[in-house]
Amino acid sequence: MGDSRLPQILMFKLLQYYGPLRKSASIKFSTLMFYFIVVFSSLFSGVFVRGFYGFSNISEKELMNIISVTFSSVIAMGIFLGLKGGITSLEPEIDFVLTSPVKPSTYMLADLLFQFVFLNVAVTPPLISFSAVMLYPDFKNLPMVFLSYELMLLTSSLMAQTLGVLKSVWKDVMVEAFGWILLALLFIPLLGMAMGFEINYSDLPYPSTILSRCAFGSLSLGDITLGLIYLAVIVIAYFAAMRINFLPDVTPLLTTALMEMPSSNRRILRGVPKLFMQVLSPKMSEKPMALTVKLNLLRILRDGSLFTALMLFGIATLANLSFPILIRQVSFSALATLTFNILYTPLIPAIFSINWGIVERESLWATAVSEDGFKKYVKGMLIAYFIATFSFALIFYIAFNILLAGTPFIILDFLLLFLITLFASILSVATALTLAKPSNALSLSALLYVFIPLFGSLFLSMPVILARTTISIADVPPPTILFVLLLYTILIAFLLSRYVLARSKTFFDKTPVEETVPQIQFQRNYKNYFLNFLTLASLILMATSLTGFFFGPSTDPSRKYYGPPLAVLMGLMLTASILMQRKALGQDEKAMYSVPSKVPWKASQTLLILLLALLFPSVLQFPLLTLSFSSGIRANDLTLLFLGEIAIIIPMLLYMVSKGISVEFIGLDSRSAIPEFKLALLILPLTVLTGLLAGVVVQILVPLPPWVERIFSTVSPSSFKNLVVLSFFTIFFAAPCEEMLFRGFVQRGLESSLGDTWGIVGSSILFGLFHLNLWQFLPAFLLGLILGYVFRRRRYRIWCPIALHAAYNVTLLILSYVFNV
């Protein structure tokens, strides 16, 4: 009995929560990659925010404001969890642990530690990265901020559990009212600030503000006293709660976190006007399509998804609105802030989908059996999501417009809202149908359900965002632009919905076991998936660059002349090459399969060899560099490049020789060389375009600093002779070596451990990173995807990728020579 059980209960909770990671190496890898993407995004958004508000130093007062709000959000999260029960458990614990002779206080402590661990793992790295970026370049306060943050996190969990226990001692309604009052106290000042009242958030007497002042070392005596009082109250309340004999009616909070709060939801439902309910209630005489839409809407309303989604959307909006005021950038137009809110809209349908995945998904057996029934259901889902999201997002937008600015309605804002809602709804449904069921509402797999619609709709709406941020056209956009954007919207929406409806056909094919694995599963027909993606990507980039050409930052007037025809030409070439590509890649299917289908090396060896490949060039170049410095003879840049390219394949070749592996394994099959080269010529246009456009977009968004330009100029042809030499180098050294390494070795190695998808994506990411700069990453990554796919499609013969890579690079060389970029 007693406390010796605590470590075991904690282990059990951790094993349950992180259980899906035990399934396979591929899951572990995907999770790790996703995790790094999340951290990278928060770093990037920190940089973006600072860039947007000016890279100049943010004053300490303003920083304290930001940190205070962050800490308040952490407390708010604790209150939110507390109102739902406070104890983060999953069903098996309720059935088996709570019915064992475990002291309630032991279980509560185990849950406290569990919350501390999983919240830290999930929230801390992104939050601390963001804070670090905000604090840059003065990091002296970072350790204290970090410690205060951890203390805040612990306090939040203490409060959550105390509130949960209170719910069983007092009446539900009273505790909920108490919780809501606390939340209001925390957030209403933000609303006041957004409306223009003179409030300094970090001066308020809250535990969060006191801690933030403590982090910056500016505590007053009053602060210390108040802080100690707060601490005493929380700790005493917690200890009192721990003495409970009987844990409150524990619910599986981790599963129902985003669903109804029972009493409040029922009261809200009662408050919904009768007329509205009349419209919503399904009538037997209606058409099946209308019925499905209504049923989906009712589901969203009744299971509490709408309520939770709106609550979280409201909080995000509030935080966003107050941000410029927090850092005293009052000059920043309130309208621009409103636009940012539009970008949070995807949260709403994302939450609908998370709850759908957790509950509703199980009960689709009845729909599935009717003819075409599921397809109608999915259509109804799409429409219902759109109606619900758009209505409320619009209401919010108009309300805040009135509250804050009172300025006229901007049509591009409206278009952006419409677009984001449309794409977010479609992507949420697509995610729900493609991904496996989320293991619980607060898991990493659930985060994917938010991530994909959020970033997907952001990415897809790039053209409009670009147009919107170009001040000259924001107020009165020319009709042609509007027309182009609308056309683009319809096209993308059509493509996406076709994907969703196609997915609905194969939804029930999977066996139950596969469904609970949080792994992205692609459509079985690889060809369609990848080609659709590439088409989509090229269309987006084309639309973006079209907008960019018209209104980009360049002062060169001649752009207006060759810009549009060039874009149209690209589009035509694109269409033609796509049509040819579908047939071309499928050729030679029945030829003798001459490259071995399995390779004897795995992901771990791959990564090791790659690391060596990165280091080797430096090893070879170092003596040459020291020689040149000491003897005064300048080493030829080109020589260094040559050495570098050869150096990267040396570790790989040494490895293969030592293991007796023939070069056939990396795809060098002599008989198929010539036909494969011919094929490459056919696919060239698509490859060139994608890389080109990607490079252009990145350069528009993040302009090159001068030191990078200097490096790039070494590979830019300065004369015709230079052009020839560089082309020769590319064709016979750069392309073959890089392809042998990244496709022949890395992709196949990753494939053999982690599956086909990660083989291509992983090697492309590594290929992108290999170039060691931000501006070449995206084009290299996209190029890597195409080459990887082609490599696989051509049954691992390396010739086609080599030829494509060479042709692509040479084309770029020619273009840069001609246009002198």
Partner 1 sequence: MGNSVLLEIEGLWKTYGKTVGVAGLSMKVASGEIHGLIGPNGAGKTTTVKCIVGLLNPDKGKITVMGRNVGNDYGFKKFLGYLPETPSLPDYLTPKEFLGYIARIRGVEPGEETRRRVQEFLSMFELNECENRFIIELSKGLKQRLALTTVFIHQPKFIIMDEPFIGLDPEGQRLVKSLVKNIVDAGGATLICTHMLDMAERFCNSATIIDSGKSIAEGSIEILKKSVGLDSSGTLEEAFFRIVGGKSSGRL
Q: Which residues bind partner 1 (CB under 8 A)?
A: 1, 5, 8-9, 12, 15-16, 19-23, 90-92, 94-104, 168, 245-246, 248-250, 262-263, 266, 439, 513, 516
Closest CA to 30 of 741, 517, 500, 437: 517
The least distance separating partner 1 from the CB of residue 344, rounded to whole angstroms, comes to 32
The least distance separating partner 1 from the CB of residue 91, rounded to whole angstroms, comes to 3
The least distance separating partner 1 from the CB of residue 99, rounded to whole angstroms, comes to 5
CA angle (218, 219, 225) in 5-degree steps: 175
| Residue with Cβ nearer partner 1 (95 or 637) | 95
The least distance separating partner 1 from the CB of residue 171, rounded to whole angstroms, comes to 12
| 527/250 Cα distance (integer angstroms) | 49
The least distance separating partner 1 from the CB of residue 249, rounded to whole angstroms, comes to 6
| Residue with Cβ nearer partner 1 (12 or 323) | 12
> 676 to each of 269, 590, 804, how far by Cα in Å?
65, 14, 10
| Positive/negative CA dihedral, 189, 193, 197, 203 | positive
Put residue 239 in one of left, alpha, beta given phi > 0 → left and psi -120 to 50 → alpha.
Answer: alpha
Chain centroid to CA 570: how far?
Answer: 29
Structure tokens at 476: 């009165």
Whose tokens are 């990507």? That residue is 537
| Residue with Cβ nearer partner 1 (170 or 593) | 170
| Residue with Cβ nearer partner 1 (77 or 110) | 110
Closest CA to 741 of 666, 658, 655: 666
One-letter amino acid of 100: S
The answer to whether the CB of 375 falls within 8 A of the CB of 429 is: no
The answer to whether the CB of 744 falls within 8 A of the CB of 664 is: no
| Residue with Cβ nearer partner 1 (278 or 511) | 511
| Residue with Cβ nearer partner 1 (193 or 448) | 448
Cβ-based neighbours of 398, under 8 Å, separated by 6 or more: none
| Residue with Cβ nearer partner 1 (264 or 581) | 264
Is-cis flag, bond preceding 137, omega within 30?
Answer: yes
The least distance separating partner 1 from the CB of residue 93, rounded to whole angstroms, comes to 8
| Residue with Cβ nearer partner 1 (100 or 480) | 100
Indicate the Cα dihedral angle 182, 184, 189, 195, nearest 10°. 180
The phi, psi pair for 252, rounded to 5°, reads -70, 80
| Residue with Cβ nearer partner 1 (259 or 348) | 259
The answer to whether the CB of 391 falls within 8 A of the CB of 300 is: no
| Residue with Cβ nearer partner 1 (265 or 577) | 265
| Residue with Cβ nearer partner 1 (192 or 262) | 262
The answer to whether the CB of 349 falls within 8 A of the CB of 425 is: yes
| Residue with Cβ nearer partner 1 (245 or 285) | 245
| 607/610 Cα distance (integer angstroms) | 5
Closest CA to 429 of 481, 472, 380: 380
Structure tokens at 222: 């009053």
The least distance separating partner 1 from the CB of residue 161, rounded to whole angstroms, comes to 16
The least distance separating partner 1 from the CB of residue 358, rounded to whole angstroms, comes to 13
Residue 573 CB: number of other CB atoms within 10 A? 15
Q: Could you report how far apart the first and last alpha carbons of the chain are, in Å?
A: 75
| Residue with Cβ nearer partner 1 (101 or 408) | 101
Question: Can you point out the beta strands (E) in 14-75?
Answer: none
| 497/501 Cα distance (integer angstroms) | 6
| 797/791 Cα distance (integer angstroms) | 6
The least distance separating partner 1 from the CB of residue 438, rounded to whole angstroms, comes to 12
The least distance separating partner 1 from the CB of residue 16, rounded to whole angstroms, comes to 5
> 763 to each of 29, 529, 544, 641, 785, how far by Cα in Å?
13, 19, 27, 22, 8
The least distance separating partner 1 from the CB of residue 267, rounded to whole angstroms, comes to 11
| 453/431 Cα distance (integer angstroms) | 8
The least distance separating partner 1 from the CB of residue 513, rounded to whole angstroms, comes to 6
The least distance separating partner 1 from the CB of residue 308, rounded to whole angstroms, comes to 20
